[in-house]
């Protein structure tokens, strides 16, 4: 498998794990388990950061003049990265909202 494909799958894998953690955080916040929800957001952020670093490396290489071949798997990796970032924002909002509803903010 080519190097670029491996980088893409690294991004997809890590941000997929992040998104899963953020979704779990939303479920936990809805159940009023705020400490567990916040721990899941933190866990997700660690996975997200790994995917983000891999993506940033690609951007730095391109900025240095190394062309990146446009591949469907790269587009998918970037889509998953953005989706995970959106889920993080939603998870944080769900935690804050549910804390407010329960009077624990």
Question: Which residues are identified as catalytic?
Answer: 76
Nearest to 8 by CA among 69, 88, 89: 69
Nearest to 49 by CA among 88, 93, 96: 88
Q: Residue 98's CB: how many other CB atoms inside 10 A?
A: 20
Structure tokens at 29: 């916040």
Nearest to 81 by CA among 47, 31, 105: 47
């Amino acid at each position: 498998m080519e190097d670029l494909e491996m980088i893409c799958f690294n991004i997809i894998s890590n941000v997929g794990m992040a998104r899963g953690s953020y979704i779990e955080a939303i479920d936990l916040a809805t159940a009023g388990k705020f400490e567990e929800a916040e721990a899941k957001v933190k866990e997700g952020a660690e996975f997200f950061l790994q995917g983000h670093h891999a993506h940033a490396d690609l951007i730095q290489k391109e900025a240095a003049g190394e062309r990146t071949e446009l591949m469907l798997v790269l587009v998918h990796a970037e889509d998953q990265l953005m989706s995970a970032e959106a889920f993080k924002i939603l998870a944080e909002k769900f935690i804050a909202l549910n804390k407010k509803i329960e009077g624990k903010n």
